[in-house]
Amino acid sequence: MKAIMYHYIQEHNVNLPHFQYLNVKNFEKQIIHFKSRYSFFDCSEIKNFSIKSKIRNKIFLTFDDGLSCHHKYVLKILLKHKINAVFYIPSGPYIDCKLLDVHKIHLIIGKIGGLKANNLLLELLDNSMLDLDKIEEYEKNTYRMQSNSDSINNFKRVLNYYIKYAYREILINKIFLKCFEENEESIVKRFYMSRDNIRNLFENGMIIGSHAIKHKLMSRLSEKDFKNEIDESFNFLQDFISYKTFCYPYGGKLSYNKKIEKYLEKKLVNYSLSVESRNITKQDLKSRRQALPRFDCNEFKYGQIE
């Protein structure tokens, strides 16, 4: 069984000339491609997965981050093809009306490109701000499936993985303000789905899951903080949930640990998704439902990022 991960699905935005996304037309082509090769699950039934389930040659789709393009473009295409999917929503933007740091990073790169973004970062960065003992491990195990330039990879790795959290938000905001003069709240309303959009997804048969609150690297949080990220996110989404499913921010093996998996199990989360380029097996369903693997859409035909 395959789970497929998507993020930005949209059309070209002249105001963000370097922004990376999957073109809407290619997204639909990929759906048609998948339909010719696999059988789509009804995602409302995933909660019943067990080692007795028939999962061979099956597929389902997931969409991360609560992006407005998911309601504007994706929903129509899914309904057209009579497919439902799982949408993972981070609750932070709806609570404080601020962009998540991970999305500020994407917007900065989209606006000025990786080279200029990296140069701005280097002007502000000092080695004392970095977790130096973690750099080699993170460099080896992050963004391996993405065809980014070295400057983009460095910019994202430093701000998502290498930097100490005490400095992260400060640096990101300084660079963001150099690139965007528009009021952040107005960008938030345009960038993310509204509550009504989420409700519309839910009422049209889509599954809504938790993507934590602030899209932080869960493995770097204290036990108190990662529990809060999980609990409060599910509390926010309770009106849109038919069963509990969770998706790890960033999603690689370094982004979560056994303690987090055990807590999700304790909170009766039906399953959680990571990012690992392989099929979900019956053994996964039996012994590790809180770390099911997902493919990135760009590993398949028509999934190339523009």
pTM of the complete model: 0.94
Q: Do 85 and 61 meet the contact criterion of CB atoms below 8 Å apart?
A: yes
Segments forming the whole domain that contains residue 109: 101-186
Could you tell me the sign of the dihedral formed by the alpha carbons of 118, 145, 92, 289, in that order?
Answer: negative
Tell me the CATH number at 218: 3.20.20.370
Residue 52 to residue 2: CA distance in whole angstroms: 17
Domain count across the chain? 2
Neighbours of 66 (CB within 10 A): 25
Residue 7 has pLDDT above 70, yes or no: yes
Looking at the fold, whether 54 and 167 belong to one and the same domain comes out as no
Q: Judge whether 25 lies within some domain.
A: yes
Could you tell me the sign of the dihedral formed by the alpha carbons of 100, 103, 105, 107, in that order?
Answer: negative
Residue 273 has pLDDT above 70, yes or no: yes
Q: Judge whether 55 lies within some domain.
A: yes
Looking at the fold, whether 27 and 11 belong to one and the same domain comes out as yes
Which tens digit of pLDDT belongs to each residue from 160-218?
A: 888 998 999 999 999 999 999 999 999 999 999 999 999 999 999 999 999 999 999 99
Looking at the fold, whether 20 and 37 belong to one and the same domain comes out as yes
DSSP for 221-286 reads S-HHHHHHHHHHHHHHHGGG-SS-EEE-SS-SGGG--HHHHHHHHHTT--EEE---SS---HHHHH
Q: Please enumerate in sequence order all residues whose Cβ is within 8 A of that of 148, keeping only pairs 6 or more positions apart, or say none.
A: 114, 156
Residue after which a domain boundary falls, among 159, 186, 213: 186
Residue 109 has pLDDT above 70, yes or no: yes
Residue after which a domain boundary falls, among 156, 186, 216: 186
Q: Judge whether 304 lies within some domain.
A: no
CA angle (102, 130, 295) in 5-degree steps: 40
Q: What is the pLDDT of residue 141?
A: 67
Q: Judge whether 305 lies within some domain.
A: no
Looking at the fold, whether 68 and 129 belong to one and the same domain comes out as no
Looking at the fold, whether 66 and 201 belong to one and the same domain comes out as yes
Looking at the fold, whether 149 and 203 belong to one and the same domain comes out as no
Q: Judge whether 224 lies within some domain.
A: yes
Q: How many CA atoms lie within 13 A of 167 on its CB side?
A: 16
Q: What is the 3-state secondary structure (H, E, C) of 85-112?
A: CEEEECCHHHHHCCCCHHHHHHHHHHHH
Looking at the fold, whether 9 and 69 belong to one and the same domain comes out as yes
Which tens digit of pLDDT belongs to each residue from 48-87?
A: 776 667 888 999 999 999 999 999 999 999 999 999 999 9
Looking at the fold, whether 29 and 146 belong to one and the same domain comes out as no
Which tens digit of pLDDT belongs to each residue from 236-270?
A: 999 999 999 999 999 999 999 999 999 999 999 99
